[in-house]
Chains A and B, each alone.
Chain A
Amino acid sequence: MFIASPTTLTHEMPRALQHMLAREQADTPTALPRRSFLKLAGIGGLGGFALGAFPQTATAQGAGAAASALKPTEQPSAFVQIAPSGEVTVTINRLDFGQGVQTALPMILAEELDANWAQVRSRHGSNDGAYVDPRFGMHLTGGSNSIKHSFTQYRELGARARAMLLSAAAARWNVDVAQLRTEAGQVLGPNSRKASYGELAEAAMALPVPEKVVLKDPQHFRLIGHATPRLDGRAKSSGRQDFGIDVRLPGQLTALVARPPVFGARLAAVNDSAARAIAGVKAVLRVPLGKGEGVAVLAEGYWPAKLGRDALQLQWATDGLEKVDTDRQLAQYRELASQPGALAFDADMAPLATAAHRIDAEFVFPYLAHAAMEPLNCTVRLGPDRADLWVGSQFPGSDGAAAASVLGLKPEQVKVNVQMAGGGFGRRGNPASDFVILACEVAKAARAVGLAVPINTQWSREDDMQGGYYRPMHLHRARVGFDERGNLLAWDHALVGQSIVSGTFFEGMLKNGVDGTATEGLRDPYPVPMRLSVHHPKLNVPVLWWRSVGSTHTAFVMETLIDEVARTTRQDPVAYRMRLFDGKHPRHRTALQLAVEKSGYGKKKLAAGRAWGVAVHESFETVVACVVEASVQNGQPVLHRVTAGVHCNLVVNPLTVEAQVQGAVLMGLSMCLPGAAITLKDGVVQQSNFGDFVVPRITDMPQIAVHTVPSADPPTGMGEPGLPPLAPAFANAIARLTGKPLRELPFKLA
């Protein structure tokens, strides 16, 4: 495995991820060895030339010292190909599932390459070692870090490729490189000489890769910072964009798996005679799940597979399995909250007894399904000594390693072809690799009965929604003591919820029994003497990160309580927050100030029945403030208008940032709407489809204006940070109208 640079500044990472890095550095390799780059020359069917010397080639030419000193993540050959036509294809080292890195990463590379943007294309990578996150050293799309961690990487890749093209032109014209410049996919030389990148690519490929390159002065950026439509916009507006679900290989069968009604249940009896009688059904096979087992129906297409699955007569053994019941679970969480837990922070709680004001509050957050529009699926093709997977994966490296383990292969014998994904929101980044392992188990079982064909293991919507890996249910309890001026004297806080990282290869992120992905977003940046006691009960419900992870609940707790302190002490909620920031936290202050100014907060007269709501929160190193207008209509909270102030440092693509904030705001709103909860009864998930797990529709969409604070600092995360402040801002507005705080999601007006 590529080891993250020793110069990596771990203290700059989100707290919860620092431990992950330490763990990764010591962990067993999951990525392919460097020699795998050789394969890149032949894949993709792009024609043209992989630009840049492969390490071995460079050595043969006597230029190996410089080139092979480059890390895989610095080899242009793995990331950019230039066809004779001049078409530039940039490979992204992430999954694009709507967040726009499919366009932003090529923009960054093309900027330094001086490519002609009209000729730039993009494609997904694989589990090849080149495509690890350069800071974390593992294949990972998550933590809003794609641009944050690969900004400099992709600039340098573009600059290296450009330098090689310049060298090739200098050699061709027998002039000094200093006399040459580049512009829009061409090298320009003395006497009006011109050569296109396409003409130069083959010669450039034979040259050594320069180790050191000079990057552009950001004031000369032509692409970065400019609104750039998505590269896949046309394909996605005409049905031509293929997703994982659209993979079609010769002889391919579709598999649907009957899943246990209670997590971990095993089969007591299987009668599959009716299923086998369905036309088009090819096999019915028992397959192990991560926990428990299932029955796969393999057929010529989804419909016969579904008919076959419907016709199965199955009896499940659930003895000895914990059957979670949400009502009982809530009672259990309340009991736990009153007991001492693992301490994340500590402070003197004596002032609680004497404080002029006290708020005692309990917050409840349900399980949430990711409910991405493309139901989970994975296609597997087994060969004699290899396997090829096609899957929209946030973790193709660990998914490939998991596949290898199931199939009895070495990791380098598994290729994971990352596919464009119809959303994901964390569900496609599972350290347990559940949907990849399932697809491999199905393919393995099929091969054992002589069906050596590619198999797409497809999930129905019901499978996707009832298959677990939810945002964990949480209970927070807070006792906050403050004085007449709102000075926070003591804050006693208990958090109860399952750990996401416990039992996974991220377990190293647990610190003193506290999962930082649950507590992130609590306390800071406010000057709060907080004691934080944490319980991570183990329950028979699989849990996972859900867009913005801990901040989905911690921001709500913090920002509604801070607002309540402001209301109790009759202070303006913006002025109160600014006072608490006390001249520090400049990004919080500027983001909030921007949202306040652009919204007209405190100046504009609101329509009758409306109130302002405010919240500001930092997640993934980006600060987003929301100022909202809301009302109560027919007993229901209604969100009318949202003004977001965003501090994400340098903006690469303003269109993407706007879309990400709008989308994240809507997903934040999704947590508030009636029906936004996964509940269990007697171990069985009660929701199954969009009829009972409600997600926002166009009629729920408020007006959303997105404003960014100008900055030239290196970009920070943008995929998630727009989500956390919306729900508390909305709740704060409703509390101003009703006088009663909202302390449960989804909202319930008593």
Chain B
Amino acid sequence: MSTLHVNGREHTLTADPGTPILWALRDSLGLTGTKFGCGAALCGACTVHMDGQAIRSCVTPISAAAGKRVVTIEAVTSSNDRVGAAVHAAWVKHDVAQCGYCQSGQIMSATAFLKSLPKGKQPSAADIDAAMAGNICRCGTYARIRAAVAEAARAIA
């Protein structure tokens, strides 16, 4: 038995504490917005927030989340999360997605990045690239990801 605090609620899970958070979300809690891409922290498709930090949920066990708050794409883009809402709006405005499979992870990385910026700081192009370099998009949506992150940064300034 383990507990996992996800999107504001505490869940009791029968899954082994070594189970990666990704599979607890997808298979135990039915939160399939978080995607499986590589299982090895190489592609970023599984990115969620743990106490505000972007983490790779495919290699982070439930046990590592004890006492911490996990937030997923479902909450970031549909709650009162101001930064998440700005990122979501920018993604829609710039028509970022193609196949869309990696975009949950892209949005989670972008949101954590923007939240980490000092108030009033506008990220440079290099800052954005560095922040998003851990997320692979095989469709090649990177140009629009750059534009959308910059737009969201302006929107929350």
Q: Spell out A's residues near B (CB within 8 Å).
A: 96-100, 229-230, 232-243, 245-246, 248, 254, 279, 300-304, 306-307, 371-375, 420-423, 425, 460-462, 655, 659, 662-667, 689-691, 695-699, 701, 703-704
Contacts and interface: CB of A to CB of B under 8 A. Distances in A.
Nearest to A302: B23
A702 B132 CA distance: 15
Range of interface residues on chain B? 35 or more
A461 B143 contact: no
A302 B140 contact: no
Contact of A303 (B19, B92, B100, B137): B19
Contact of A460 (B27, B39, B43, B91): B39
A246 B146 CA distance: 28
B20 A423 contact: no
Contacts of A302: 23, 26-27, 36
Sorted from nearest, which 7 A-B pairs have the closest CB atoms? A239-B33, A422-B101, A236-B100, A98-B99, A666-B140, A301-B27, A663-B140
B92 A689 contact: no
- Max chain A CB contacts within 10 Å: which of B31, B100, B101, B143? B100
A687 B142 CA distance: 25
A240 B75 CA distance: 11
B15 A303 contact: yes
A229 B92 contact: yes
Contacts of B136: 373, 690, 695, 697
Contacts of B20: 303
B77 A698 contact: no
Interface of B: 15-16, 19-20, 23, 26-28, 30-40, 42-43, 45, 72-74, 77-78, 88, 91-92, 95-104, 107, 128-130, 132-146
Contacts of B130: 699
A233 B92 contact: yes
15 contacts: A96-B99, A230-B95, A236-B97, A239-B33, A239-B72, A242-B32, A301-B15, A304-B16, A373-B37, A374-B101, A425-B138, A664-B140, A667-B140, A697-B134, A698-B145
B37 A301 contact: no
Contacts of B38: 461, 689-690
A695 B92 contact: no
A663 B141 contact: yes
Nearest to B95: A229
A237 B96 contact: yes
A699 to B, nearest CB: 5
B96 to A, nearest CB: 7
A315 to B, nearest CB: 25
A371 B38 CA distance: 10
Contacts of A420: 99-100
Contacts of B141: 659, 662-663
B23 A373 contact: no
- Max chain A CB contacts within 10 Å: which of B91, B136, B138? B138
A98 B72 CA distance: 23
Contact of B129 (A230, A301, A666, A698): A698
Given A233-B95, A461-B38, A373 B27 contact: no
A237 B33 contact: no
A368 to B, nearest CB: 12
B73 to A, nearest CB: 3
A302 B34 CA distance: 14
B142 A701 contact: yes
B27 A300 contact: yes
A235 B101 CA distance: 11
B106 to A, nearest CB: 9
A97 to B, nearest CB: 5
A233 B98 CA distance: 8
A209 B97 CA distance: 37
A696 B140 contact: yes
Given A423-B139, A666-B140, A232 B33 contact: no
A102 to B, nearest CB: 10
A544 B133 CA distance: 30
B92 A699 contact: no
B99 A238 contact: no
Contacts of A374: 35, 37, 99, 101
B98 A698 contact: no
A235 B103 CA distance: 10
Contact of B98 (A100, A242, A304, A375): A100
A370 to B, nearest CB: 8
- Max chain A CB contacts within 10 Å: which of B78, B98, B134, B136? B98
Contacts of A230: 95, 97
- Max chain A CB contacts within 10 Å: which of B27, B38, B101, B134? B101
Contact of A233 (B16, B97, B142, B145): B97
Contacts of B74: 238-240
A241 B77 CA distance: 13
Contacts of B92: 229, 233-234, 237
Nearest to B97: A236
A478 B133 CA distance: 39
A373 B140 contact: no
A177 B110 CA distance: 54
- Max chain A CB contacts within 10 Å: which of B42, B78, B140? B140
Contact of A695 (B16, B45, B91, B138): B138
Contact of A237 (B45, B107, B133, B139): B107
Contacts of A307: 16
